Structure 1
Amino acid sequence: MRRRSKNRIWLLWAILCVAAPVLAQPPRGPLVVSPQINADKTVTFRYLAPQANEVKLSGQFEKAPVAMTKGEQGIWSVTVGPIKLDIYPYSFQVDGVTVMDPANVAFFPNERFKASLVDVPGDTPLVHAMKNVPHGSINYEYYPSLEGTTGSLVVYTPAGYDQNPATKYPVYYLISGTTDTEETFFKVGKTNLILDNLIAEGKAKPMIIVMPYGNIAARVAEQKGGTKPADPTVRDGADAVKRANDFATDLVSRVIPYVEKNYRTFANRENRAIGGFSRGGGQTLRTAFSNMDKFAWVCAYSSYLSPDEMERSYKPLVTNPDNTNKQLKLLWVSVGSDDFLYKGTVEFIDYLKARKVNYKSLITDGGHTWMNVKHYVAETTPLLFR
């Protein structure tokens, strides 16, 4: 009798051990494929929401959210397009709540919003496509930053870097926009693939690209237990300028020494470039113009400084344009014609022209988007370090 009771206890224990992991798993539901890129470059999006009353697709390839239709098993779907070949952020609006696509692993790194990414490829590979060429590496780095905090970087090294330990490289410091992170130029801008392709074609020189996080104030607050401050409301106001100057201090006094200690670089201004998008472009211009001994190549994507700020803070650059033109091997300014910063950027271009400061400019179609940013990176990196 005792033996039978003991056997039952062991049997019950074995059943529980097997069942517990199964019971802990949530129901998987039906397989959802999204996004599905069709041969005609239309794209089908799907989202599982059996209890939802309304689901819409929102993406930068559409002017307004598009209603989706509920089908079997509670899967909502819609097919849109054909879509112009590129990479786009998108999301779903589920009963008024914006969510990412859970069926898609590609996402847009950002402090404020979370979107998924869809890549509509060309029959002929685009400049950011994965091609059969030698590929560089992406490294995540941590460095001692301002106020005792730890900063983060994403660093691209070109193909052959690890195989050629005696070779040194120039460095391009590339800064994302407001609410973007240090990963955005990598994961959305595909900067590593753009450089892999351009270098393989002999169009760009092999270079290291350093992508820092631009929001120093947010990082300090996070690591010191404070509240993340709101973004400045005036682009050239005192708060925005202070934060840009803090970023410049961090880049010049912390990031550059860290990179030059840990990577094989040419440590001089002729082999340093700086560029950025939106807020990162403003940080680029302020950092470069305040440290002309550090950078010879400057690229502003969808960004500018106002004439008032130029006159107030960087007057020597325009009162002696000959000297400025000798120092800067490239000053690039680009913007889309539908960009909300178009007017200010064109005003900045006109200001430089009137004061005989040399520059290269590019006005494209489109707005304040990463589709344009990829284009600007592809246009400017072949000009660097020549």
Structure 2
Amino acid sequence: MKKLFTNLLLGIVLSATSSAQNVGIGTNTPTGPLSFASQLGNKIVLWGDGNAAHYGLGIQGSTLQLYADAFNSNISFGYGRSGAFTERARIYNSGIEGMYLNGRLHLRNGDPSNLGGGGGIWLYNPGNTAQIGFMGTQNSQNIGFYGGSAGWGFTYNTINSRVGIGNDNPNAPLAFAATLGKKITLYPGATGDAGFGVAGNRLQLYSDNPNADVAIGYDAAGTFNERFAVKPTGALAVVGNTGLANQVLGSAGPTAAAQWRSLNSLIPTPSAGATATLPAAGTSVFFNNAQLNFTLARSARVLIWIDLITAQGCVFYPCSSYWKLFMYLNGNAIWSREIPASHIDQTYYSDARSLGPIVLNLAAGSHSIAFSGFSIRGEPGVTLYPTAMILSD
């Protein structure tokens, strides 16, 4: 009898608050299949008594609320049913994670009046008092991060798959803005940074302190193998060796490291590929009768120095004159030099001079170098002291 009375009463209530198959709770004029009264507070209590924290839906000023009963109770979105539920998104009430998503989130459109006009996410500071950055679509081809004085400081071009740092149109896999200064800091040190930079007409590679090297080499399973280094003093090291004073760096060929060598070791003797016969010291030149003859087993560079003494006699003095000296290679004149004489205020005058080096690049084979000299008065009498250095390849 009690159950029958309860069902009858419920039917009268629903009948009194329904209109056109709409049901009203706390309202006599429902405007939807289920309508609530226009009052703030709890609307649906899904779990709990509604007087304490519970699962449900509610309304507060300008806010639709969906809530769980405690800080460690979360709100999950997905499909299926309660007993066989597949989660796609979760809101954490702990305040640490915020929201966790399974699957993918698609952001479309955006606000054309706002930055970029594309889809994305604005991020607030931890106090939720100001926006500090945006990540999303910059234009029809770039996505990236926006914030700070640089604006779009980091972009990714979705057309050519290139990354720009301060550069909206990267022309390489990684491109920086056309500005001077530090570009990459590999290690921020206490007194400076190790990294790369650009100054006016200069690419910079630098270490972080005045005692640090800058080295070039290769990696072998995590172990660095040095091949070349610039020391803090400015010295150059090859395979760890900085060489000795006055040594020069010479190639050891394509399969070995370069080596520090003395000049003596770089200059082969004539027996290493050349033979030469010099004229006797103090030979007087009378039109090509002083010759340097030699044979090269391979191509070489020949350096020639000449010490000479010119003489001029004057019948009537004071007088002045100058000499001309010629050099011939294999019968062809290849070099000449005018040798001015000082003012002559005595009957006979001589002048000693040194010329050279005269550099010749010669092929393998036999060669002859000859000299001649005379004054403008046609007086022969140049005394030569030639010296030759043959540098084989």
TM class, shorter-length: under 0.3
Higher RCO, Cα 8 Å, sep 6+: 1
More helix by share: 1
Q: Kindly indicate which of the two structures has a greater share of residues assigned to strand.
A: 2
